[in-house]
């Protein structure tokens, strides 16, 4: 294999391979190409790039990361929906209690009005009885005797 073929297959410059060979003091014959030993060491230093798997137009790693993010987001959405459902149930319970309390307050207000009306009636009767008592007291014994 020639240096140009090796460099092209690895996606590196030919000059990079030449410098690596010179640094390690290897002999290179352009007619013979690289030896098996040289190819093995160069392959360790400059391995073949891993192929990129593309699914739906995205590299596999990106697609996997996006799917994981989507799954995580879906789990968060489900958790938020559960929280919303719990809060709606609590709101319904509070509204029920509030309506019940308002109903009880209305009943108590009506009962209070009834009692106030009864108290006013009793006061009116008391005043009438007091007036009759005063009228009776103001009558003389002769008026009482004659039933005037």
Tell me the per-residue pLDDT of 66-121, one tens digit each, with 9 for 90 and over.
889 999 999 999 999 999 999 999 999 999 999 999 999 999 999 999 999 999 99
Residue 123 lies in a domain: yes
The answer on 40 and 80 residing in a single domain is no
Residue 22 lies in a domain: yes
For 43-78, b where at least 16 C-beta lie within 10 A, e where not — what string?
eeebeeeeeeeeeeeeeeeeeeeeeeeeeeeeeeee
The answer on 69 and 132 residing in a single domain is yes
Domain count, the chain: 2
Name the pLDDT band for 57 (thresholds 50, 70, 90). Answer: low
Name the pLDDT band for 33 (thresholds 50, 70, 90). Answer: confident
Instruction: Provide Rg for the chain, Cα atoms.
Output: 53
Range of the domain at 42: 3-53
Residue 148 lies in a domain: no
Residue 145 lies in a domain: no
Share of the chain above pLDDT 70, in %: 95
CB 108 within 8 A of CB 100: no
Name the pLDDT band for 52 (thresholds 50, 70, 90). Answer: low
The answer on 89 and 124 residing in a single domain is yes
């Amino acid at each position: 294999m020639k240096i140009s073929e090796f460099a092209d297959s690895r996606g590196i410059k030919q000059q990079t391979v030449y410098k690596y060979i010179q640094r390690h003091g290897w002999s290179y014959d352009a007619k013979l190409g690289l030896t098996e030993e040289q190819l093995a060491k160069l392959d360790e230093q400059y391995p073949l790039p891993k192929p990129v798997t593309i699914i739906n137009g995205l590299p596999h790693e990106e697609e996997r990361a996006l799917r994981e993010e989507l799954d995580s987001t879906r789990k968060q959405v489900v958790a938020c929906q559960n929280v919303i459902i719990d809060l709606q149930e609590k709101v319904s319970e509070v509204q029920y209690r509030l309506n019940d309390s308002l109903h009880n307050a209305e009943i108590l207000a009506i009962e209070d009005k009834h009692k106030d009306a009864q108290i006013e009636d009793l006061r009116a009767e008391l005043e009438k009885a007091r007036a009759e008592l005063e009228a009776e007291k103001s009558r003389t014994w002769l008026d009482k005797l004659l039933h005037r």
